[in-house]
């Protein structure tokens, strides 16, 4: 779906206590990888709980364009993959829409193939830096035949006859860059090594091992991870149950913490420790979040979360925690707007290159709605107003600019549920990229959003 059509604004209003039980859609990171690895592996992969958001569907279409068979049978996605090393040259450009993860991981996956592949995306994706992925690919012998200035999309890659295995130290905390190099290593003779000084989400490592890749991880005495992958091995189709996305769970979770009297349960949420920074931070702020029925499902920890309205207090969130909650800062900033005292968030440089410049988008949205905050180069300080008195815009006030960013839209709609005056966002359309059920799910819990 194109999002350059007429924007669809949405408004959230102060709501009665939220209550009930909800299930958020499948984890976006795992869903992208399920389509990719299933499309690549030999034999059949069956997936339940897949996030059917636009971003993930783009990855599915790309895998189909390169030879994978992907079909939905009832609740299950059934894939017949090409076999490792056997993807086909797509007939046209691969259009990734808004999806950074889909496009960057796929550049790694197919960049080393002896064929030409073109990547395009929407205005947001076309403004995001791709050099972080192209740089290691160039070292492996991949030619960047065409790219917009600053290594941006549209990008055309042409792989070498035989890619060269490299040792690559990831220069920023990025699971996408780590994953792109590991996936490039799948089609490269010998051992490709990724050195990861700061641990980021480890779904690629865990899932590739599950599909049969010869991948090992060693962590040295300084906590630096060395990931080794042997190329050109066989991958075999798997059965995958995708757990609920903790990043999506963050929206109803913060909503319940800030709307007085709320008591909700969110079921089946992924609890992988590389993804739980928001939970930890909200608990430190005094959030009543009970972790119920912790269990392991398909190699991942999951649990149900009972969340009750809480009087939150400001905290300092250390920079080291950023990788485990990188997508959650917008909604954390909203929680901080209702906390007593100041919340200081540090180590936010990567927020500047997300679907939007999220640091600026959050600070501007907060200010527009009466929140006292300071935007630093890589930090954000928010001084909260418990009870939300005076927060929000006038009914005819200016809307929050979402800049084609789903998480900015959802975060500010959550804000409007507890602020004194309504909060309006300029466009809800992008929410469909990661959480198509957002409006319905929130409304069922009692949220007033339209």
Any idea which residues carry the catalytic annotation? 327
Distance CA 37, CA 95 (A): 19
Nearer to ligand S3P, 164 or 172 (CB): 172
Stretch that binds ligand S3P, among 168-176, 232-240, 288-296, 393-401 (CB under 6 A): 168-176
- Residue of 1, 12, 4, 9 whose CA lies nearest to 416: 12
Distance CA 282, CA 334 (A): 11
In this chain, which of 174, 262, 272, 369 binds ligand S3P, going by CB under 6 A? 174
Stretch that binds ligand S3P, among 53-61, 170-178, 187-195, 216-224 (CB under 6 A): 170-178
Cα-Cα-Cα-Cα torsion 359, 363, 364, 365, nearest 10 degrees, comes to 100
In this chain, which of 179, 268, 343, 411 binds ligand S3P, going by CB under 6 A? 179
- Is 234 annotated to bind ligand? no
Residues linked to residue 11 through DSSP beta bridges, in sequence order: 424
- Residue of 238, 244, 236, 320 whose CA lies nearest to 24: 244
Strands (E), 14-108: 19-23, 44-48, 69-73, 76-80, 94-95
- Residue of 238, 297, 231, 308 whose CA lies nearest to 26: 297
- Is 174 annotated to bind ligand? yes
- Is 247 annotated to bind ligand? no
Instruction: Give min distance, CB of 132 to ligand S3P, in A.
Output: 8
Stretch that binds ligand S3P, among 79-87, 113-121, 172-180, 330-338 (CB under 6 A): 172-180
Cα-Cα-Cα-Cα torsion 53, 56, 61, 67, nearest 10 degrees, comes to -150
Q: How are beta strands 167-169 and 225-230 bridged, if at all? A: unpaired
Number of residues that bind ligand S3P (CB under 6 A): 10
**Phi, psi dihedral angles at 291 (to 5 degrees):** -95, 110
In this chain, which of 142, 241, 305, 326 binds ligand S3P, going by CB under 6 A? 326
- Considering only residues 235 through 294, tell me which ones interact with ligand S3P, judged by CB under 6 A: none
Instruction: Give min distance, CB of 179 to ligand S3P, in A.
Output: 6
Eight-state DSSP code of residue 357: -
Per-residue string for binding with ligand S3P, 93-132, x by CB under 6 A? --------x-------------------------------
In this chain, which of 11, 15, 176, 369 binds ligand S3P, going by CB under 6 A? 176
In this chain, which of 55, 196, 350, 405 binds ligand S3P, going by CB under 6 A? 350
Tokens 């220069």 correspond to 171
Nearer to ligand S3P, 101 or 272 (CB): 101
User: Kind and range of the H or E element at 148?
Assistant: strand 143-148
Instruction: Give min distance, CB of 23 to ligand S3P, in A.
Output: 20
Tokens 């609920």 correspond to 244
Nearer to ligand S3P, 67 or 129 (CB): 129
- Residue of 315, 271, 316, 272 whose CA lies nearest to 289: 271
29 contributes a contact to ligand S3P by CB under 6 A: yes
Structure tokens at 323: 């990788």
- Residue of 285, 279, 203, 294 whose CA lies nearest to 246: 279
Binding residues vs ligand S3P (CB under 6 A): 29, 101, 174-176, 179, 201, 326-327, 350
Query: Which residues are annotated as part of the binding site?
Result: 28-29, 33, 100, 128, 174, 176, 327, 354, 358, 407
Query: Which residues are annotated as part of the binding site for phosphoenolpyruvate?
Result: 28, 100, 128, 176, 358, 407
Query: Which residues are annotated as part of the binding site for 3-phosphoshikimate?
Result: 28-29, 33, 174, 176, 327, 354
């Amino acid at each position: 779906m194109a999002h350059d059509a007429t924007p669809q604004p949405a408004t959230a209003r102060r709501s009665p206590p939220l209550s009930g039980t909800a299930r958020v859609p499948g984890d976006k990171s795992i869903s992208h990888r399920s389509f990719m690895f299933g499309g690549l592996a030999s034999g059949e992969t069956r997936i339940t709980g897949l996030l059917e958001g636009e971003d993930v569907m783009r990855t599915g279409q790309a895998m189909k364009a390169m030879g994978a068979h992907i079909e939905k049978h009832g609740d299950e996605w059934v894939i017949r993959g090409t076999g490792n090393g056997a993807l086909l040259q797509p007939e046209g450009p691969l259009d990734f829409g808004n999806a950074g993860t889909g496009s960057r991981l796929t550049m790694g996956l197919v960049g080393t193939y002896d064929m030409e592949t073109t990547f395009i995306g929407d205005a947001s994706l076309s403004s995001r830096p791709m050099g972080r992925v192209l740089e290691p690919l160039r070292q492996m012998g991949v030619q960047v035949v065409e790219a917009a200035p600053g290594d941006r999309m549209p990008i055309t890659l042409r792989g070498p006859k035989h890619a060269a295995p490299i040792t690559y130290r990831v220069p920023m905390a990025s699971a996408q860059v780590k994953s792109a190099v590991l996936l490039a290593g799948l089609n490269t003779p010998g051992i490709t090594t990724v050195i990861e000084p700061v641990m980021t989400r480890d779904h690629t490592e865990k899932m590739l091992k599950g599909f049969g890749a010869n991948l090992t991880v060693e962590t040295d005495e300084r906590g630096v991870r060395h990931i080794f992958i042997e190329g050109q091995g066989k991958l075999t189709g798997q059965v995958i149950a995708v757990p609920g996305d903790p990043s999506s769970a963050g929206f109803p979770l913060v909503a319940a913490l800030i709307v007085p009297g709320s008591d909700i349960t969110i079921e089946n949420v992924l609890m992988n420790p590389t993804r739980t920074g928001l939970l930890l931070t909200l608990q430190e702020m005094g959030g009543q979040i009970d972790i119920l029925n912790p269990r392991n499902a398909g190699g991942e920890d999951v649990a149900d979360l009972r969340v009750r309205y809480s009087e939150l207090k400001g905290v300092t969130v250390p920079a080291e925690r950023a990788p485990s909650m990188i997508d959650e800062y917008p909604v954390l900033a909203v929680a901080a707007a209702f906390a007593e005292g100041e919340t200081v968030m540090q180590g936010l440089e990567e927020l500047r290159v997300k679907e939007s410049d999220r640091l600026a988008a959050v600070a501007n949205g907060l200010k527009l709605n009466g929140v006292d905050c300071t935007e630093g180069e890589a930090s954000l300080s928010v001084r909260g107003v418990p009870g939300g008195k005076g927060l929000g815009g006038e009914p005819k006030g200016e809307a929050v600019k979402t800049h084609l960013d789903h998480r900015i839209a959802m975060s500010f709609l959550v804000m409007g549920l507890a602020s004194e005056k309504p909060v309006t966002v300029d466009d809800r359309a992008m929410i469909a990229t990661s959480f198509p059920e957002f409006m319905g799910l929130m409304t069922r819990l009692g949220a007033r959003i339209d």
